[in-house]
Amino acid sequence: MEMLRALTYGPLVEMWEYPIFLAEVALNGLLTGVMYSLVALGFVLIFKASGVFNFAQGVMVLFSALSLVGLMEHGVPVWAALVLTVVIMVVLAMVIERVMLRPLVNQDPIILFMSTIGLTFFLEGFGETIWGSNVKRLDVGIPDAPLDIGGVLVSTFDLWAAAIGATMVVVLAIFFQKTPIGRALRAVADDHQAALSVGIPLRTIWVVVWSVAGMVALVAGIMWGSKSGVQFSLSLIALKALPVLILGGFTSVPGAIIGGLIIGVGEKVAEVYWGPAVGGAIENWFAYVLALLFLLFRPQGLFGERIIERV
Amino acid sequence: MLYREAGLFKTTYTADQALFPIPLDRYFVLAVLAVAFLVVPLVANEYWLQAVLIPFLVFSMAALGLNLLTGYAGQISLGTGGFMAVGAYMTYKIATGFPDLPIVVAFLLSGLCAAAVGVLFGIPSLRIKGFYLAVATLAAQFFLSWMFNKVPWFYNYSPSGTVTAPPRTLLGITVTGPEASAEVRYLLALTLVAVLALAAKNLVRGRVGRGWMAIRDMDIAAEIIGFRPYRTKLLAFAVSSFYCGVAGAMSLFLWLGSAETEAFSINVSFQVLFMVIIGGLGSILGSFLGAAFITLVPVFLTNAPQLVGLSMPVDLQKHIELMIFGGLIVFFLIVEPHGLARLWQIAKEKLRRWPFPY
Amino acid sequence: MNVKKLAVLGLGAVAALSTLPMSSALAQNEQFVPMLVYRTGPYAPNGIPFANGFRDYMKLVNARDGGVGGVAIVTEECETQYNTQIGVECYEKLKGKGPTGATVFNPLSTGITYQLIPKSAVDKIPILSMGYGQTAAADGRVFPYTFNFPTTYWSQASAFVKYIGDKEGGMDKLKGKKIALVYHNSAYGKEPIPTLETLRAKYGYDLQLLAVDHPGQEQKSTWLQIRRYRPDWVIMWGWGVMNQVAVKEAAAINFPMDRFIGVWWSGSENDVIPAGDGAKGYLAGTFHAPGHGFPVHADLLKHIYSGNEAEAKANNWGEVLYNRGVVNAMYVIEALRAAQAIHGAKPLTGEQVRDGLEALDLTADRLKALGMDGFVSPLKVSCLDHETMGPVRIQQWDGEKWSFVSEWIEPMRDVVRPQVEEAAAAYAKENGITPRTCG
């Protein structure tokens, strides 16, 4: 009976009785969601512009963070290390375009997906060869102190992360909407061939988009790396971004953010309130089940492009 | 010259519809089977059997299963690891619950359990397609991992949640458990793979397989010509999960001997998917080639430096190995995006004209 | 295009035809000690210092003493990436090497240990899972080839409870106190649960179990639950990135760090440095001393690094996990010595080394001679007891280094041992093992 209560309405009663704690769970969920979105954004950018599901996004997060920390350990000041890392990511994008994307143009999405897996293996080995496998402490000067707002405890670091995430979305939105290159990107995303026929250079666009994804990966790497230290496991956060991506739709920047928020709050509330009754650690699968529920109503994600099928 | 298709005249429908209509193909398959059954156990040492061939067979089985679903029926699945876990844990439960039941029966029964679970998680495929479908199968993957970790009934309440394959005999020979020799385990795995691969080959050329391919190519069109998407897709999930379940049982009982849910993690699902893509989607042979590529190439690369007398630190070696492996994947895709099976096809075409190409 | 495709075919053929090198025969006066290491992959930051410590001590024995009883020690590393499947391959590759085969395996991973335990008895190669792996293996009657001294997770959990009781002012004060266990959701992380549950019944404290899934990068919900539960103490069974994040999150909710105890795999420099100042005061269990102030460290510095301290430190000299590698290697060497005392000074087989492991008697005098006085505590292995239930100490991180804050704490033998025997009996029954009798 106790079990049944804990599985069903018990947690709801608790939420009602301790609204402040519920607020704390929800707020922390939202902030975690932003952190997921940071990773998911990189996927969306590349998928949107080139139709490639970039499995290597996680390892790009690791690689960029490793480069940043590695440079800082060699005595390069933070700002210079940041600039150099951006340069590294742009060079990486150019190499990827030349070596991998260009020969594989016009292939099935699943083939391109597979090629990014090859890239993943390569970058894992390459990054660790150059920068080593130790945990590196990353401190870019973001304050990290607990903050008590009327009984709700949040970390200032998480607030900063949310602010940075929000800024990034705004910048990306402006970039996509207002700049010529952004318009070109959207044109490519809508229709490769039509874009080519009006004279948009596809290859340049790819380099740009992979570079931007590299920079997004760098931001995600900094935020996650500050929490856990920069180490190999950073590449595994891509898994946390998958449900966000699917829920928000592969092609939508706002979708990645809203998807992240929904997943963040959903999984935290589920784990904190219903988890203990069944032994805990349910958030991983719950995130997918949550995404699945949304998909049953919108099979292309919340903000994905509508699929129109013709026979 | 060596490989001929011309000049073969089929006089009966049976001959025309044979599994391998070209005699050379038939002889080749028979020869491979003969070598695998008779020669390999005699010449291979324990390292080869235990660390190379048995894992290759286990993954071939899993890749075969996933290829039926992804390659033939066009449904992407990242739940392979979860379905393998169902097979492994159910075999464990059946084998410990009914010690007298022949172990092969336990394998097949747990395959059926996996099939049932597969159908359950296949239901969303009726509405969700493409990469989005991956979410349903990922839900299966994570949920099943969690379940086998959290529900103590599945691992007989052992304190750490690890399951160990108990010793069982078949026809009086010990086939599982630590005492079973590598040769015996290899032969059992090979038999299962051979039988089920032939079954799969048969399946995909018949009505069922054609239905899957129709759904894969365009499900609306398939529906219009009379294939019910409901049944066809769910059947694909069931059959595929059955194969994966048997693969999971094989991996626990014939290969690892002891496992926790980590052995059937999301990484395994990804690995099997890589095998299917690298080997060739929609090809039975491709499943084997892909499994060979993903399991054997790393082993080869690990041992290659020693082979040429090069000695370097293990970490550097591993990093280089990863880079080469990643490079090889991209290289193969660029050279032949349709997988290794297609390369085999090309080789056959070359052989047809050899040594007088025009 | 044709050329390219042919090249691919050729490449495939070469890969298929190549065979692997196997034996490097020649029966020399050498003892082969295999090393399963993980210098790459998600757990590499922990694997590297451990492997370095183990390697350096083996080198030291060769350089300083000319091996064991005149027999040189030969090692070979095999990279497992902490992955069970690669671990199996490594085991098969290394088990037949050297003139007498592999001596003793140190699997360095709970998963690989579980995998190798059934094989070890068949292949007659002992396994030394030093303080990890399957706790039930402490019962030497059921697991003749598996050793897990100096002490196991169950013993350690009971020592933690003792420490907490001590800090609270007596074991009777535990009643009504709240303890949370944050654990890695795997076979390894679940280890302490049975012991903590038993002790809960005995001492009447309240226990909350919080599982963290691999890899453990995101633990917000875990620490939110701790906020709600408001435990007096938090115990952690973590590994890899999970540790760093947990320490950071604990600091982020203002949890008092001197009431947060990590298992001995959650108490290295790696685990606290990324958290910065927030980690100050964090506690962890251990069975050996931190730092590099022991004579054995001076020897290592002199013989391996020719006195170059910077180079030694770059190889993790004196770090917690390095020291643990040294301890592990020392146990192997001393077991070899004990085995040579029984079977003579020559390269020994795994079966003979097993006898040495079982006859291992590290007295205080012996440790002093090894330059490890106070570094580890003495122990004596027996046929019945493969664990020895050695004492545990608590160390604290002060922002710079680890140092002891407790005396050696003896585990609760009366609680743990019956559980061990029960679990071993269940294992024996399920796997059809007839326990041997210890004379």
Residue after which a domain boundary falls, among C357, C374, C390: C390
Q: Is the pLDDT of residue A305 over 80?
A: no
> Which chain B residues are Cβ-neighbours of C92 within 8 angstroms?
46-47, 50-51
Instruction: Give a yes or no: residue C5 inside a domain.
Output: no
As a whole-number percent, the residues of chain A with pLDDT over 70 amount to 97
The reported pLDDT for the residue numbered C49 is 92
Instruction: Give a yes or no: residue C373 inside a domain.
Output: yes
Q: Is the pLDDT of residue B297 over 50?
A: yes
pLDDT band at C196 (very low <50, low <70, confident <90, very high): very high
The reported pLDDT for the residue numbered B265 is 87
**CATH code: domain of residue A223:** 1.10.3470
C-alpha distance from C285 to closest chain B C-alpha (Å): 21
Top-ranked range on mean pLDDT: pick from A40-49, A128-137, A200-209, C204-213: C204-213
Domain match, C195 and C275 both: yes
C-alpha distance from B34 to closest chain C C-alpha (Å): 18
Q: pLDDT tens digits for A197-222? A: 888 888 888 898 899 999 999 999 99
Domain match, C300 and C333 both: yes
Across the interface, of A21, A128, A229, the residue whose CB is closest to C228 is: A21
Phi, psi of B338 (to 5 degrees): -90, 15
The reported pLDDT for the residue numbered A255 is 86
Q: Which is higher by pLDDT, B1 or B302?
A: B302
User: CB neighbours of A278 closer than 8 A, spacing ≥ 6?
Assistant: A7, B150
Across the interface, of C40, C88, C193, the residue whose CB is closest to B315 is: C40
Q: Are residues B50 and B214 in contact, defined by beta-carbon separation less than 8 angstroms?
A: no
pLDDT band at C17 (very low <50, low <70, confident <90, very high): very low
Across the interface, of A135, A139, A279, the residue whose CB is closest to C244 is: A135
Pick the range with the lowest mean pLDDT from A107-111, B2-6, C177-181, C343-347. B2-6
Q: pLDDT tens digits for C334-363? A: 999 999 999 988 888 888 999 999 989 999
> Which chain B residues are Cβ-neighbours of A304 within 8 angstroms?
132
> Which chain A residues are Cβ-neighbours of B136 within 8 angstroms?
292, 295
> Which chain A residues are Cβ-neighbours of B221 within 8 angstroms?
311
Mean local confidence (pLDDT), A140-149: 79
Across the interface, of C18, C134, C191, the residue whose CB is closest to B300 is: C18
Strand, coil or helix: what is C314? helix
Instruction: Give a yes or no: residue C279 inside a domain.
Output: yes
pLDDT band at C20 (very low <50, low <70, confident <90, very high): very low
> Which chain B residues are Cβ-neighbours of A294 within 8 angstroms?
none
Number of domains in chain A: 1
CB-based burial, A140-165: b 16+ in 10 Å, e otherwise: eeeebeeeeeeebbbbebbbbbbebb
- Tokens of residue C375, six digits: 């570094």
Q: Would the CB atoms of A117 and B274 count as touching at under 8 Å?
A: yes
Q: pLDDT tens digits for A168-207? A: 888 888 888 888 888 888 888 777 788 888 888 888 888 9
A residues 189-248 closer than 8 Å to C (CB):
224, 227-229, 231-234, 236-237, 240
The reported pLDDT for the residue numbered C12 is 46
Q: How far apart are CA B255 and CA A12, in angstroms?
A: 47
Q: Would the CB atoms of A309 and B315 count as touching at under 8 Å?
A: no
Which DSSP category does B38 fall into?
I
Touching subunits of B (3+ CB pairs, under 8 Å) are A, C
Domain match, C382 and C233 both: no
pLDDT band at C18 (very low <50, low <70, confident <90, very high): very low
A residues 121-180 closer than 8 Å to B (CB):
121-126, 128-129, 133
Q: pLDDT tens digits for A32-58? A: 898 899 889 888 888 887 778 888 999
Whole-model pTM: value is 0.90
> Which chain C residues are Cβ-neighbours of A271 within 8 angstroms?
221, 225
Question: Cis bond leading into A146, ω under 30°?
Answer: no
pLDDT band at C19 (very low <50, low <70, confident <90, very high): very low
The range of the structural domain enclosing residue A38 comes to 2-297
Q: Is the pLDDT of residue C24 over 70?
A: no
Mean pLDDT across chain C: 87
Domain match, C296 and C282 both: no
Chain Cα centroid distance, residue B347: 23
DSSP H helices, C285-412, are 295-305, 309-314, 320-343, 350-358, 364-369
Q: Is the pLDDT of residue A61 over 90?
A: yes
Domain match, C157 and C282 both: yes
| CA torsion, ordered C229, C234, C237, C242, to nearest 10 deg | 70
Return the number of CB contacts < 8 Å for A and B: 134
> Which chain C residues are Cβ-neighbours of A234 within 8 angstroms?
217
The ipTM (two decimal places) reads 0.88
Q: How far apart are CA B355 and CA A185, in angstroms?
A: 51
A155 forms bridges with which residues in the sheet?
A146
Instruction: Give a yes or no: residue C18 inside a domain.
Output: no
Instruction: Give a yes or no: residue C377 inside a domain.
Output: yes
Instruction: Give a yes or no: residue A47 inside a domain.
Output: yes
> Which candidate in C94, C183, C422, C431 is best for mutational testing of the B interface (most B CBs within 10 A)?
C431
Q: Is the pLDDT of residue C11 over 60?
A: no
Instruction: Give a yes or no: residue C192 inside a domain.
Output: yes
Mean local confidence (pLDDT), C31-56: 90
- Whether C256 has its CB under 8 Å from any CB of chain B: the answer is no
Instruction: Give a yes or no: residue C7 inside a domain.
Output: no
Domain match, C63 and C105 both: yes
Mean local confidence (pLDDT), A119-124: 92
Q: pLDDT tens digits for C255-272? A: 999 999 999 999 898 889
Q: Are residues C182 and C193 in contact, defined by beta-carbon separation less than 8 angstroms?
A: no
Domain match, C161 and C247 both: yes
Q: How far apart are CA C409 and CA C395, in angstroms?
A: 12
Pick the range with the lowest mean pLDDT from A117-131, A187-201, C131-145. A187-201
Domain match, C147 and C296 both: yes
How many Cα neighbours within 13 Å face the side chain of C411? 27
The reported pLDDT for the residue numbered A68 is 92
**CATH code: domain of residue C271:** 3.40.50.2300
Number of domains in chain C: 2
Q: Is the pLDDT of residue A121 over 50?
A: yes
Q: Would the CB atoms of B132 and A128 count as touching at under 8 Å?
A: no
C237 forms bridges with which residues in the sheet?
C183
Q: pLDDT tens digits for A256-291? A: 888 999 999 999 999 998 888 888 888 888 888 888
C-alpha distance from B317 to closest chain A C-alpha (Å): 9
Q: pLDDT tens digits for B150-195? A: 888 988 888 778 888 888 888 877 888 777 888 889 999 999 999 9
Nearest CA in chain B to C133: B160
- Tokens of residue A137, six digits: 């402490």
The range of the structural domain enclosing residue C355 comes to 26-151+292-390
How many Cα neighbours within 13 Å face the side chain of C79? 24
Q: Would the CB atoms of C432 and B340 count as touching at under 8 Å?
A: no
- Whether C190 has its CB under 8 Å from any CB of chain A: the answer is no
Nearest CA in chain B to A128: B319
Phi, psi of A127 (to 5 degrees): -60, -45
The Cα angle at residue B22 between residues B18 and B24, in degrees rounded to 5: 130
Q: Is the pLDDT of residue C14 over 50?
A: no
C-alpha distance from A65 to closest chain B C-alpha (Å): 18
Domain match, C320 and C247 both: no
Q: Is the pLDDT of residue B314 over 90?
A: no
The reported pLDDT for the residue numbered A311 is 62
As a whole-number percent, the residues of chain C with pLDDT over 90 amount to 35
Instruction: Give a yes or no: residue C417 inside a domain.
Output: no
Q: Are residues A37 and A257 in contact, defined by beta-carbon separation less than 8 angstroms?
A: yes
Across the interface, of C208, C224, C274, the residue whose CB is closest to A135 is: C274
Q: Would the CB atoms of C77 and B314 count as touching at under 8 Å?
A: yes
Q: How far apart are CA A131 and CA A68, in angstroms?
A: 10
Nearest CA in chain B to A304: B132
Domain match, C322 and C370 both: yes
Q: Is the pLDDT of residue C25 over 60?
A: no
> Which chain A residues are Cβ-neighbours of B329 within 8 angstroms?
114-115, 117-118, 121
- Whether A276 has its CB under 8 Å from any CB of chain B: the answer is no
How many Cα neighbours within 13 Å face the side chain of C391? 15
The reported pLDDT for the residue numbered A309 is 67
- Whether C117 has its CB under 8 Å from any CB of chain B: the answer is yes
What are the extents of the domains in chain B?
44-266
Across the interface, of B50, B162, B300, the residue whose CB is closest to C187 is: B162
Q: pLDDT tens digits for B18-31? A: 777 777 778 888 88
